[in-house]
Amino acid sequence: MMFYNIDEKKLDNSLTKNPLNKLTEIIQRMKRNKIYWLSQILGWLLYALVNIIVSASFGHFSWQRVIILLYLCFVGISLTHIFRSIIRKHGWVNFALKKIIPRVIIASIVIGTIMFAAWITVDISIGIHLFKKLNIGIFLGGIFQLSSLILLWALIYFSVHFFENYKKAEIEALIWEAAVKDFELKTLKSQLNPHFMFNALNSIRALIDEDPVNAQTAVTKLSNILRYSLKIDRHETVSLAEEIQTVKDYLALESIRFEERLKYKINIEPKSERIEIPPMMVQTLVENGIKHGISERKEGGEISINAKIVDSKLHIKIQNSGNIDEEALKNSAGFGIANTKHRLNLLYGIEGLFSIKNLNNDSVIVEIIIPTGDVTNESSNNRR
């Protein structure tokens, strides 16, 4: 099964396919690269200039020292650029501070050692001999000085990124507010669409004469769904237990219409019931499974919902009879899939995982994985 890290590039077709958004992203990337290289060159030249001024003030100025410092600037630019590539490749800026600090310290010591070795090598190879006598004190002192310099570089680099993430979080908070309002309207249109209401009311009407008690129960379940749908504007997340109760009400109503054609199983690990999830997320996917899978099969089918906690993450698995069109699967088409991905990204960032696939050409399986703790995406900090 393929999992997708939900990021900004996969939010919505309307966003990713907008040429203006792509052009803006390219321009911003070019600006960031330009600023990065300008900062690199000017920063290391400033380091060399400060050393030259300090040396001159103590009467130690020499062109040999200038050559060594310029060479160190070149080595420093090269090594810190490699360091930056490692940081970006492994996503260090997204790590917790307790994970970042030891990695940065170790990397700084390694880079500082390499730089000092390069310093000694060029000093000896061209016969400058700035170090008249190399001992363990000078060796450790040189490594400490250069490692501290790399630590300063890392501090500036991470500070810039943390500031950018803070500004990005403010923007995402505004996006989230707009998305919530949009989702409310779409949810009411999707979940409480006229077809569903018409079918539910017809089913209840048919029960009134045949089974008044069950008809009354069905009315209660329909009112529960309506009440739950109308209250989501006040809640960013709800407990899994509350969401599953609404799903049970929905399935009970659909069972009246489909009768023996619809079977369902729900297996929720007790300790996972308290975990907060986006409202209507499971219900929307269950509705999609019935609408696009089970209802299109003459013999009907079965839908199962399972939830459990694995390695401090909530795993939700929804499986229904039928299959999904490969093109729709490729493009993640449909309100249920696109909306779920969008909301997972806004709430959980890269920690929210979503997958969907056909299983043995006879069923569709959807799996969602989210963290069980507080919402981890930086932008969520201002939304609760």
276 - beta bridge partners? 239
CA distance between the termini of the chain? 33
194 residue type, one letter: P
The pLDDT confidence band at residue 20, using thresholds 50, 70 and 90, is low
Does the pLDDT value for residue 8 go beyond 50?
no
Q: What pLDDT is stored for residue 321 in this prediction?
A: 92
Q: What pLDDT is stored for residue 302 in this prediction?
A: 94
Domain 192-382: what homologous superfamily? Histidine kinase-like ATPase, C-terminal domain (3.30.565.10)
Q: What pLDDT is stored for residue 235 in this prediction?
A: 74
Determine the distance from the C-alpha atom of residue 228 to the mean position of all C-alpha atoms in its chain, rounded to a whole number.
Answer: 27
The mean pLDDT value for 138-152 works out to: 89
Q: Residue 116: left if φ>0, alpha if ψ -120 to 50, beta else—which one?
A: alpha
Asked if 161 contacts 155 with a C-beta cutoff of 8 angstroms, the reply is: no
The pLDDT confidence band at residue 175, using thresholds 50, 70 and 90, is confident
Distance, CA of 218 to CA of 256 (rounded, Å): 9
The mean pLDDT value for 332-339 works out to: 64
Distance, CA of 283 to CA of 170 (rounded, Å): 30
Q: What is the largest CA-CA distance in the chain?
A: 106
The pLDDT confidence band at residue 138, using thresholds 50, 70 and 90, is confident
Show contacts of 128-135: CB within 8 Å, 24+ apart.
128/64, 128/67, 128/68, 130/64, 130/65, 130/68
Q: Which of 120-134, 165-179, 326-340 has the highest mean pLDDT?
A: 165-179
Does the pLDDT value for residue 365 go beyond 60?
yes
Does the pLDDT value for residue 268 go beyond 50?
yes
Distance, CA of 286 to CA of 305 (rounded, Å): 8
pTM: predicted TM-score of the whole model, two decimal places: 0.51
pLDDT, tens digit, 9 for 90 and up, residues 277-310:
988 889 889 988 888 888 888 898 999 999 999 9
SS (H, E, C) the chain: CCCEECCHHHCCHHHHCCHHHHHHHHHHHHHHHHHHHHHHHHHHHHHHHHHHHHHHHCCCCCHHHHHHHHHHHHHHHHHHHHHHHHHHHHCHHHCCHHHHHHHHHHHHHHHHHHHHHHHHHHHHHCCCCCCCCCCHHHHHHHHHHHHHHHHHHHHHHHHHHHHHHHHHHHHHHHHHHHHHHHHHHHHHHHHCCHHHHHHHHHHHHHHHHHCHHHHHHHHHHHHHHHHHHHHHHHCCCEEHHHHHHHHHHHHHHHHHHHHHHEEEEEEECHHHCCCEECCCHHHHHHHHHHHHCHHHCCCCEEEEEEEEEECCEEEEEEEEECCCCHHHHHHCCCHHHHHHHHHHHHHHHHHCEEEEEEECCCEEEEEEEEECCCCCCHHHHHCC
Measured on CA atoms in the order 244, 288, 383, 249, is the torsion positive or negative?
A: negative
pLDDT, tens digit, 9 for 90 and up, residues 204-231:
887 787 788 888 888 888 888 888 877 7
Q: What pLDDT is stored for residue 226 in this prediction?
A: 82
Asked if 232 contacts 184 with a C-beta cutoff of 8 angstroms, the reply is: yes
With a pLDDT cut of 90, the percent of the chain lying above it is 28
The pLDDT confidence band at residue 236, using thresholds 50, 70 and 90, is confident
Provide the residue ranges of all domains of the chain, joining segments of one domain with +: 27-168, 192-382
Q: What pLDDT is stored for residue 194 in this prediction?
A: 58
pLDDT, tens digit, 9 for 90 and up, residues 308-328:
999 999 999 999 998 887 666
Phi, psi of 262 (to 5 degrees): -120, 120
The pLDDT confidence band at residue 381, using thresholds 50, 70 and 90, is very low
Nearest to 28 by CA among 175, 178, 169, 164: 164
Q: Match 């919402």 to its residue by tokens.
A: 375
Phi, psi of 300 (to 5 degrees): 75, -145
The mean pLDDT value for 325-334 works out to: 61
pLDDT, tens digit, 9 for 90 and up, residues 113-129:
999 988 888 777 766 65
Q: What pLDDT is stored for residue 206 in this prediction?
A: 75
Q: What pLDDT is stored for residue 139 in this prediction?
A: 80
Q: What pLDDT is stored for residue 222 in this prediction?
A: 85
The mean pLDDT value for 95-103 works out to: 90
pLDDT, tens digit, 9 for 90 and up, residues 53-86:
887 887 777 777 788 888 889 999 999 999 999 9
Flag the least confident range among 32-41, 53-62, 90-99, 139-148: 53-62
Mean residue pLDDT across the chain: 80
Determine the distance from the C-alpha atom of residue 346 to the mean position of all C-alpha atoms in its chain, rounded to a whole number.
Answer: 8
Q: Which of 111-120, 234-243, 252-261, 312-321 has the highest mean pLDDT?
A: 312-321
Flag the least confident range among 50-59, 90-99, 266-275: 50-59
Task: Check residues 382 and 43 and name the one with the higher pLDDT.
Answer: 43
